[in-house]
Chains A and B, each alone.
Chain A
Amino acid sequence: MSSISSSRPMRTRGRVAFTALLLGAPALAATAALVAAPLAQMFDASLRHQDFGILQPGFTLENYRALLGSVQYAELFYKTIAAAALVTMLCALFGFPVALHIAAAGPRHRAFLYFLVTAPLLINTVVRSYGWLLMLGNRGLINTVLIATSITSEPLPLSGNLLGMVIGATQVFLPFMILSLTTSLDGLDSRLIESAGILGASRIRTFLDVTLPLTVPGLIAGSVLVFSLMLGAIVTPLMLGGSAIRYLSVTIYTDAFVLFDLPRATASSAILLLAVTCLYALQRHFIRSYQDKATT
């Protein structure tokens, strides 16, 4: 017995690491081969010149210099960030009442509300964007109603532009924001809100001074998620915005599949990927420091 107990920790330490690596190897190999390797190849393409569709040997930073130094691209980046920020703000604005409503609901009612919020998530983005085409098109629901009631005589341009993209994307990403806010609200101590009420604070005061500050982690988590999903989104921008809009992901798509300018497409992809990765890292950092503050 004594020999077992003394030799076991020594033997198991090495064995644990070995079997652990063995168990994780297939998953690690799959992600490395199908994410890391293709991305590395893509990064390589972003550092090359292209002649008649063929990548040339030798590295260059010219593609990045051309992107980051051009006024057109500065405008594109600005418009992309503004549109994604607008979608994020609209999601927060629409999402907050729903999250408050869900958090206040009884258990049975709550299951139904959860159903309402999550069901659209399980419906393909292509289908949801198609629904918005039927709503926003020149002969869509909104324009038909507006013309029938003589509010306008000409159909309003609601799709095929940034406006259509923002409306559609808000609906597509809204469930993420609502779920994130609801999680945060559920962790809230309801006694705090009751005390605020007892102490005579109005509902608005209570919301601004108690509920809102305490749901900041959920709001930030939801905002980063929606913002980064929106930066990388292509379906809704392409279907509701059209291929002519000034939106980074659409420009990447056009560069890659219409203009076949691989170096420029891959260089802009690298910039987009860097932005999204930084956002996630920032969010992790923020949430962690917030949790630390909450526990101490």
Chain B
Amino acid sequence: MTQTSLPVRIAAACTYIFMFLPLMVIILFSFSDRSYFTFPPQGFSLKWYVQAWEGGQFFVPAIRSVALGTIATAIAAVLAIGGGLSIRRLKERPVARAIELTFLSPLIVPHLILGIALLHFFNPPGLIDTFTGLLLAHVVIVFPFMYRTVLVSIHDLNPQMEEASELLGASSVQTFRHVILPSLVPGLAAGGVLGFIVSFDQFTISMLITQREQITLPVAIYKYLYDVNDPVVAAVSSVLVAFGFALTLAVQGLRRANLPTA
């Protein structure tokens, strides 16, 4: 494509600023030594970071969010491999489309609605505000993302390799372990990162199905914001902004590493 014109570049630059300004303001505020927002910023201190660490309201939810993201993504991966292989075998049959739509349904339903539905669904069995309930909800949210990335790898599978493996006398378990699974690694890696991000950033449903005991990091931030609202929130948010940037770089690195083989 040819070079873009100056007005386009100016408009693009303004949009980049629009996207990043609120994030920069959070970081600026987190280093201020006042408890209210001032501009230009006055003083410099790290006390909000110290307070966020020592206050302990965020530490356990952070650990919980990481654990939740990891376990939910792992379970979703197992479901996605099964689901993807199943769709591949069913190929063009009408059932395949219906099954696929069911698999992708968690993407379509707005989280507010799914959250309200799960809240009432989880209430009788006593799953509200439990790690199990949270995990079930996160598995189902992560699953479609995992499924779509794994499916790309599954479409790239070479059926002749499987036939060769079977002809050579390998059992279906051996074929899966030594032929299919290694080919799915790129899809699983990409889906794993994406799935973890989706779970880690999930707010609405986590907020609705927890109360106090099992809140996740985004919920803890939201609650603190409404209960206290001092720059401690800015400090925790800044850490999350940095984490988001690092994760983006990691994803880009991963994509570049995958590029030669793809």
Contact = CB atoms under 8 A, between A and B. Distances in A.
Interface stretch (B43-51, B53-61, B134-142, B182-190): B134-142
A31 B83 CA distance: 11
Contacts of B78: 26
Interface stretch (A63-71, A125-133, A288-296): A125-133
Contact of A235 (B204, B240, B256): B204
Given A20-B86, A98-B15, A38 B143 contact: no
A7 to B, nearest CB: 15
A30 B218 CA distance: 25
A252 B112 contact: yes
A54 interface: no
A232 B112 contact: yes
Nearest to A129: B22
Given A27-B103, A135-B25, A190-B1, A127 B113 contact: no
A256 interface: yes
Contacts of A115: 248-249, 252
B110 A125 contact: no
B237 A130 contact: yes
B88 to A, nearest CB: 8
A34 B25 contact: no
B157 interface: no
Interface bin, chain B: 35 or more
Interface of B: 1-5, 8-9, 11-12, 15-16, 18-23, 25-26, 29, 36-39, 78-80, 82-83, 85-87, 89-90, 93, 99, 102-103, 105-106, 108-114, 116-118, 120-121, 136-137, 139-140, 143, 147, 197, 200-201, 203-204, 218, 221-222, 225, 233-234, 237, 240-241, 244-245, 247-249, 251-252, 256
Interface of A: 16-17, 19-28, 30-32, 34-39, 41-42, 45, 94-95, 97-98, 100-101, 103-104, 111, 114-120, 122-128, 130-132, 134-135, 137, 139-141, 144-145, 148, 171, 174-175, 185, 188, 190, 193-194, 197, 203, 228, 231-235, 249, 252-253, 256, 262, 265-266, 269, 272-273, 276-277, 280
Given A34-B137, A97-B15, A273-B109, 18 more contacts: A17-B93, A20-B87, A27-B147, A28-B103, A36-B102, A39-B113, A41-B121, A120-B244, A123-B201, A131-B26, A134-B26, A141-B37, A145-B39, A188-B1, A193-B2, A252-B116, A272-B113, A276-B108
